[in-house]
């Protein structure tokens, strides 16, 4: 098995992955599945980011397009109107913060990085959502989060099928990793995409075998926070899913996750610290 890189470069800073990192979610949307992550007012955004950074967030992930199952489509122009001001606001108020832009639109990604202060591109479509995204990632050469999704947000939960979910995703990753690395892209982070074109069986199989994704030799991100595999499995609501999220994040860390993408930063940071005590 290949050793994963211990660092990646974001905004001229080396992000040390010898200790797992926590990415806090800021959704500039009115319809994200978890209401606690929705922010539209400038004061709300600044207060939320300030709290996340104080609680120990290493990365702030800003998105303007809800990717919940069945989410309505949004034009690139409208997405830009949501995320560009927010990223500028955050980068201005917190100049040391590492910011990722959660988008599959090449135009939005390019402007977020080159004009607004984002340092990382987080693409839920894994290059499939916009034919121009590959060139944007190649030209900007910023860290790129390559996430797997079967279908689109509108179609992804309509009977997803795999021969072997982990093997199929690894094959899909391999094709895109080769293309990106051949173009000189240095920092690639893999996200197998819990809940994106996977049913409950697929999701739990992926989590159980999460360590298998390390064979690609790249950092791994786990995005499990308050997702339906938690709350539907327990018969509760997303607002009640923090405890279940922490359980699944613990498993992900034990199986090699390098980044946790979460709504609840304080609890995730505490979790990382406790898991770190086991590794001494």
- Six-digit token string for 271: 């979790």
Q: Is 211 exposed, middle or buried (0-12, 13-18, 19+ CB in 10 A)?
A: middle
Span 140-164, pLDDT tens digits = 999 999 999 886 565 556 667 899 9
pLDDT in tens, 44-72: 999 999 999 999 999 999 999 877 665 66
pLDDT of residue 15: 95
Q: Position of tokens 């279940």?
A: 244
Please report how many Cα atoms fall inside a 13 Å half-sphere around the Cα of residue 157, on the Cβ side. Answer: 16
Of 261, 266, 279, 280, the catalytic one is: 261
| CA atoms of 3 and 235, how far apart (whole Å) | 39
Q: What ranges make up the beta strands (E) of the chain? A: 7-10, 13-16, 21-27, 59-63, 99-102, 120-123, 144-147, 188-191, 221-222, 259-262
- C-alpha distances (whole Å) from 141 to each of 9, 96, 121, 126 are 10, 20, 10, 15
Give the class (CATH, top level) of 19-278: alpha beta
Tens digits of per-residue pLDDT, 132-144?
999 999 999 999 9
Domain ranges of the chain: 19-278
The C-alpha atoms of residue 56 and residue 265 are separated, in whole angstroms, by 7
- Whether residue 223 is predicted with pLDDT greater than 60 in this model: the reply is yes
What is the residue-averaged pLDDT of the chain? Answer: 91
pLDDT at residue 175 above 60? yes
Active-site residue, from 131, 158, 227, 255:
227
Active site residue 261: yes
Rg of the chain, C-alpha, whole Å: 17
Inter-residue contact 38 to 27 (CB < 8 Å): yes
pLDDT of residue 29: 78
**pTM for the whole structure:** 0.92
């Amino acid at each position: 098995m290949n050793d994963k890189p211990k660092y990646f470069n974001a905004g001229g800073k080396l992000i040390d992955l010898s200790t797992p990192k926590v990415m806090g979610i800021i959704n500039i949307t009115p319809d994200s599945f978890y209401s606690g992550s929705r922010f539209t007012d400038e004061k709300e955004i600044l207060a939320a980011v300030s709290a996340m950074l104080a609680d120990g967030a290493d990365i702030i992930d800003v998105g303007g397009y809800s990717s919940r199952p069945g989410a309505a489509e949004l034009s690139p122009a409208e997405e830009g109107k949501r995320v560009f001001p927010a990223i500028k606001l955050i980068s201005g108020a917190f100049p040391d913060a590492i910011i990722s832009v959660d988008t599959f639109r090449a135009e939005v990604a390019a402007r977020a990085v080159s004009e607004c202060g984002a340092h990382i591109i987080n693409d839920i479509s894994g290059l499939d959502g916009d034919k121009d995204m590959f060139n944007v990632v190649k030209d900007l050469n910023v860290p790129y989060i390559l996430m797997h999704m079967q279908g689109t947000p509108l179609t992804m939960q309509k009977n997803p099928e795999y021969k072997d979910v982990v093997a199929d995703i690894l094959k899909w990753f391999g094709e895109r990793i080769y293309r990106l690395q051949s173009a000189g892209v240095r920092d690639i982070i893999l996200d197998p995409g819990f809940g994106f074109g996977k049913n409950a069986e697929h999701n739990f199989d992926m989590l159980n075998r999460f360590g298998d994704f390390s064979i690609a030799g790249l950092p791994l991100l786990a995005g499990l926070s308050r997702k339906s595999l938690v709350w539907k499995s327990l018969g509760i609501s997303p607002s009640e899913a923090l405890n279940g999220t922490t359980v699944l994040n613990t498993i992900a860390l034990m199986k090699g996750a390098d980044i946790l993408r979460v709504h609840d930063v304080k609890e995730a940071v505490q979790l990382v610290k406790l898991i770190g005590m086991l590794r001494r």
